[in-house]
Each structure stands twice: as C-alpha cells, then as structure tokens.
Chains A and B, each alone.
Chain A
C-alpha cells in the first residue's frame, strides 16, 4: 500500500499490524517467541473470526447459565477514561445475554494497592489490570491463572498484534493479555510552536533546547509536567533508554554496573539542564498529571509528555487538529541507539487463579477476551473511541475526525526501533525510585549524582 504525505480522508489501520509486527521483533525486552508471518496471521484471523461467529451463536443459543464476571480497572472514571471498555462490555453483554460484567475502577495507585490487599485475602476480582512487574510477582505467587493454553484455544493469540503476543510471561507461560499499546512521547501544540517560530517538531536535544528557548521568548510555557503524580515521566523513560538502559540492564541487576555510571549521570544532567533552562512548568511540584494535561489542553503549555491512552481526550478537545507528536530528544553524547521509541505492551489484563476454578466463569472470561480482541471489540476501539487497538483490524479511519490517532499511527509506522518501557524491566521499588529521582532533579531537590545514587541505593538493597 502506498501512502501519500497528506491523505485527506482515510488511512488503513492495517499498517498498525505491520508496524507492530516489526516493533515486536525490534523490541529488546519483549520479543515474542515464535512470531508469525503476516500471511499466517491473516489466515489465522479468518479462522478466529469464524470461531468467533460460532462462539457468538453458541452464546446466544446455549445461554442458560447466568455468569457474572467481576472486573477491576485502573482508572477512576471508566466511562470518560476508557470509553471503549464500556462500549465493548455493552456489545459483549448483548451478544452473550447470560454473561454480565460488573466493572469497577480506581485511580492507578489506589487500584494497585487494592489488588495487593485483595491478593492477601484471596479475594481478587475475576479479571483485573496490573502493571507488568507486579503481574509477574502475582503469577509467581500463584494468584493468576496460566492463560497459555486458553489464549490459543480461544484464538486470542491469533487476533493480537504479533508484537503484543506473550506480553507477560513467567517461565515461558502467559499470564496476561495486553491492555494497551504503550506508545509514549511528547505531544505538542502546533499553533503555539508556530507562534514561537518553530517550524518542525524537534528531534535532537539541541533542537529541543532551541524550541524551548523560542517558546520562552514568546512567553509560552514549554513543557507541562506534574510532579505530584511521580509516575508521569513516560517520555523521559525513552531518554533513559537512549542512554543505554536496556544494554546495561543485566549488569545493573547483577551489580556489575551502578546507576551512578556516566551515561545515567548524563541522563540526569540533561534533565537538570532542562530544569535550569526553564523547560518545565514553574509550579511543577504543586500539580499532578491531570492538572498538567488540563494546562496543555487549555493552550497554556506547548508540550506534554504522555501516551496513546490520551488520544481520546486530545481528540475530544477543541485543539485536536493542532496536536502533533514526537518521540523526544536524541542525544549526541550517548553511544547507544537513539532512533528508538517505546512501542510495546503496557499493562496487562490478568485472570485470577480463583476465578479459573469455576469452569463456567473461566469460559465466560475467555469469551470476553475473545470478543474484546476479536473483530467487534477491535472495531469499537479503533473506530468509536480513537484508541490504538492491541489486535489486528482491517478497517479505515477518518483522519479529519481522528487527527491525533492518525499522528500516532504515523509515528508508530516510522522506522525508529521499538523498545519496551524501562519501568517494566525494574522492580516496583527501583522503578518508583527512578521516577522520584527524575522528579527530584526536575524540582531541584537532587543533583544528578544524588539522584543516581538514590536509585542505586534502592537497587543495591535488592541485589
């Protein structure tokens, strides 16, 4: 398929499949075992679709036993933050009238806390969201159902984008299905960039600094960040990866390399330079992620670092047509690959081991995932709610109606290599330590050396 630069009406989302096939292979941490060719995937999709039809009929005909699935999500306002989930549940319940889904949601940190507490009480919901690292811990401790066989039996692996198969494995067994395409970077306000005389989105650190200077000269806040939600530095994780995080990971875990290594110090120094240069919101310490987003959407800041999950919010805003995306600055003082972006699986949905003890409930759960990643669920995600689907879809989108989604797909299809989120390769303690350290530098609490030492101390305690 040939693409022109400015397609007015539609581009094919099929390209997502091709991209993520590539990104899966390019991902350094989550390369799927046994990636399939596109041809075999397409064939499998057809088989899955007919299987899906059969299931659909079976659901309608044999729907005598009432089953309720309890589902816990990681957002407080599901209707607003994950509209696709509500629509899919509604469509699923119409297809399977005997299966009901009771979904509840809490803000991510509250959700994580609650899941850990419920695990201790052996009272986990039937299906729930987890970050990858805790999901592996849950699996290792026997709280999760081993999905390996079921994902094949229900044809779910055939529906998933190849790069997202095996999203959460422990000892080669699958314990989770991807909740989202984790794609993060900087979103920018094209109008404000234009106003400041910036012609194109920056690529190198020097260009980024130049853009910041121009924005400041025009009286525009360059980048809005909220330190009160210390996890909200996704685009900075890409920068850490550009200073060799994945290349050093094994040695970091073994204690052969420390966080105080020159490359990581350079990473923190760049954050410090950004701070000194007035890149961040002045009251960074007094706002959180949601306030930061409001400021970006209100036209009060030129850039905002976030991920694909915000596409819906961006497209529902007045400035949807003015939002662009770039991966974040590359660094000439690093010897590691620079043309990389986080394009991988983010959190995962898991099934509790307790739920799997009830065959009828387990069957209902798997039917739901089959539906979610199947044709109908994927269509709802892609067309109705402007999110990036985790499974293959052959439809089209209107780029006028979904400009941000189109921008993301363009970025997704670029030739930059895919990496996973560094967060998913660290323990929770070290990961949040890294977040704190970065925000510590952003807010002037830590010097680069102190920040690196802070993370090193936490990591050292685990070795």
Chain B
C-alpha cells in the first residue's frame, strides 16, 4: 500500500491516461495551431504564411456570419437551457404518477444521434410543409409561420431551440442531482421563517446550486462550440452559408473548400473562444463568491 501512494507510483499509473490524452488531444491541438499559420490543401507540403489566415478572417464575411450565428445560439441556448432545465429539474423532483416516464421523455433526445435530431427537426421546421408551420396556419397564426430554416434570419433561433430540446434532459438531470443534495432542513427553516415557494427557490435553491449552474453553463458553452450535425442536417449551412456556425463553417472550409490552413485557424479561434468563455464565466462566479464570502 505504501508503494502505491508514492509519487513515482502515482505518476506511473497516470502515465497511460496522460499518454492517450496527449496523443489524441494535446498533440492534435498543437498540430492544428501549426497548420493555422500555413497555406495547405491537405496534400503535400504546407507553406508557412504567418498570421495571414487570422488576418483574412476579419475580412471574411462568411466567417463573421458564422461567428455572429454562434454567439446568437450561445446566448439563446444558454438562456433557454439554464432556465428550462432548472424548471424541468424541479418538476422531476416532485413526486407524481408518471414521474419516471416524464424523466424518460425529457432525457430521450439526449441519447438520440444529433444527425437524427437534425432530420426530425428539419421536417418539423420546414417552412413549406413542416409540421410547425402547418399547425400555426391551421390555428390562424399565419403571422408566426415564419421561415424557421432556409432563410437568412431565423436559423440561429431554430438551432438554439433544437439544441435546447436535445440537451434539456441532460442539464436537467445535473440540476436534479444538485437539488437532491440540498438538505431538507434548509427548506424547513425557510418555511418556519414564512418564506413562500418562490422565495425558497430564490434564497435557498439558487445559491445552493451555484456550482451546478457553473458546471451546466460551462457545458453549454463548450457544447455550442461543438454543434455541427444539427446545422449539417437542418440547413446544410445555407442558404449560401448564411446559417453556418463556426464549427460547420470550419468543416466546410477544411473539407469541401480544401483550405486546410485557413480552416485550422478557424478551429484555433473556436478553441480559444471556448476556453475564454468557460474560464471567464468561472472567474466571474468565483470572484462574486469571494466578494460574497468577504
């Protein structure tokens, strides 16, 4: 037992994990960073071009559209998912007949392959023959029967809604585990003090779920930067790349347009934004916590 707890033994046991992590995560990141400074078609030798790919990005309208769309989906997705999954977690926490079925229904989209979700929602949101617009028109809400996908305006909103639908069960489950970890005595104490249900949520549940909210937020941020299949299947990035998100535009640039160097620079930007977004949020929350503690 003593041997197992030595630093050398710990390092030795960590080695396989570190090795695999390095080969599949760390080294590819460095390779991508290297290629982001080159002009490369994927074949032959890459030509070093310095920061020209990064400069090009600022003049690339399609990149800026993809960035705008990604930020829109990020903001909308974060709001929809945090609020939605928090509420759903509370419903899950209530004992009622059919609770298990409810949990299953909510969680089911998370286990469906995103490409299938894209197909399903592509049919639902199709402006011409989709189920949603047919329903809206049938109840006289023609004004709401908009071009959910395929146009230049509403695709980010549609993507955010579908992403929310897909991830709701997962994030609600995380919230549920957090809610269940809150001691019942705290609510009892609140009740004795005369707090109503809303006040219990506001002054007990939310403060006690700070860590869970951080985890969920970071997962949403990183999740949004990984959305690809939904775009691919629902809109194909179109029309004319107007509904691309950063990941799908990066994929197009690399594999269809065969601009590997430029595509890698977009990949590096995605990685950087994802890291910055996550760390910034954690830092802000940590600072607030410190201030609150002081």
Which residues of A are in contact with B by a Cβ distance under 8 Å? 109, 112-113, 116-117, 119-120, 134, 137-138, 140-141, 143, 227-230, 282-286, 288, 427-429, 432-433, 436-437, 439-440, 443-446, 461
Contact = CB atoms under 8 A, between A and B. Distances in A.
Given A112-B255, A283-B128, A119 B42 contact: yes
Query: Which 9 interchain pairs have the tightest Cβ spacing?
Result: A440-B240, A228-B236, A285-B150, A443-B239, A141-B44, A445-B240, A286-B150, A285-B239, A113-B255
B201 to A, nearest CB: 41
Given A116-B255, A432-B257, A228 B238 contact: yes
A428 B259 CA distance: 9
B150 A283 contact: yes
Contacts of A446: 240
Given A116-B255, A138-B43, A283 B127 contact: yes
Contacts of A433: 257
Interface residues of chain B: helix, strand, loop or mixed (majority)? loop
Contacts of A116: 42-43, 255, 258
24 contacts: A109-B255, A109-B256, A113-B255, A116-B42, A138-B43, A227-B238, A227-B239, A228-B235, A228-B236, A229-B236, A283-B128, A283-B150, A285-B235, A285-B239, A286-B127, A286-B149, A286-B150, A288-B236, A427-B258, A432-B257, A436-B240, A439-B239, A439-B240, A445-B242
A283 B126 contact: yes
Contact of B151 (A112, A143, A285, A436): A285
Contacts of B240: 227, 436-437, 439-440, 443, 445-446
B109 interface: no
B122 interface: yes
B253 to A, nearest CB: 9
B241 A286 contact: no
Interface of B: 41-44, 56, 122, 126-129, 149-152, 235-236, 238-242, 255-259
Given A428-B256, A429-B258, 18 more contacts: A109-B255, A109-B256, A119-B43, A227-B236, A227-B238, A228-B235, A228-B236, A228-B238, A283-B127, A283-B129, A284-B239, A285-B239, A432-B256, A432-B257, A436-B240, A440-B239, A445-B152, A445-B239
Most buried by A among B239, B241, B242, B258: B239
Most buried by A among B127, B150, B235: B150
A436 B241 contact: yes
A167 B44 CA distance: 23
Nearest to B258: A428
A106 to B, nearest CB: 12
B65 to A, nearest CB: 10
A312 to B, nearest CB: 26
Interface residues of chain A: helix, strand, loop or mixed (majority)? helix
Contact of A286 (B41, B56, B128): B128
Contacts of A286: 122, 126-128, 149-150, 235
A74 to B, nearest CB: 14
A282 B126 CA distance: 12
Contact of B238 (A282, A285, A429, A437): A285
Contact of A428 (B122, B235, B257): B257
A444 B43 CA distance: 35
A256 to B, nearest CB: 23
B119 to A, nearest CB: 12
A113 B258 CA distance: 9
A436 B257 CA distance: 11
A109 B42 CA distance: 15
Contacts of B256: 109, 112, 428, 432
A141 B43 CA distance: 7
Contacts of B122: 286
A109 B149 CA distance: 22
